[in-house]
Amino acid sequence: MSSPTVPTRVVLLAGPSGSGKSSLAARTGLPVLRLDDFYKEGDDPTLPLVAGSSDVDWDSVRSWDADAAVAAVEELCRTGRTTVPVYSIATSSRVDTEALDIQRTPLFLAEGIFAADIVARCQELGVLADALCLRGRPSTTFRRRLVRDLREGRKSVAFLLRRGWRLMRAERAIVGRQTALGAHPCAKKEALGRIAAAAAGRCAKPRTARTANTARTESSSPSAPSPAATSHT
């Protein structure tokens, strides 16, 4: 149930993998909750596979613990602190936990490829200030993602190339799905302006979010990417 007295609100920052969410979040100077740290671990039996492959589909929302992510967002909004996992993408495992304390900050960012999937739940809790989906050229996103993933040794080169090609072809559908879930599609300049407005207390009216089940059904059609398509960050 929503509450008008919640002291802190969140801007959810979504977008395809490699769209620049982390770098934009850092530019704002606001506290940041890394939603990609809520991935399931590599030995979780519920992890989905890419159709026709033995690869884990890290671009499916079913590879992510949405309940834990929402709980962390709500706790930060109501108390200013929470405990979050530290996730290693290279090993597909949670290697530690850490305390996140935003003190009395009235606004923070929660960024990650599945951020749009919790728009409706954050609206219901009364903690949502805005929800954004970064978008750009698929070819630019592909190059940025591949350079980052190779530099950080996130997965094997073959896996990264297969995944990168699949995501580039699906990028417009990815943005469309996240928009349908309630995230406003925009480039970085507009995103920074909306975040500044939210920090000043001028919260944008969030887009009407469809249910996750509806969007998931649409994204599972033959012409669309896998559920919640985005990426292993």
pLDDT digits (tens, 9 = 90+) for 69-89: 999 999 999 999 999 999 998
Burial (CB < 10 A; 0-12, 13-18, 19+), residue 21, is buried
The predicted pLDDT at position 150 comes to 76
Residue 158 has pLDDT above 50, yes or no: yes
Helix (H) or strand (E) holding 141: helix 138-152
Amino acid at 160: L
What's the pTM value of the predicted model, to 2 decimals? Answer: 0.79
Cβ neighbours for 138, distance < 8 A, ≥ 6 positions apart: 16, 168, 169, 171, 172
Rounded CA-CA distance 14/175 in Å is 9
Average pLDDT over residues 30-47: 96
The predicted pLDDT at position 97 comes to 96
CA-based nearest residue to 101, from 5, 33, 25, 28: 33
Greater confidence (145 vs 26) lies with 26
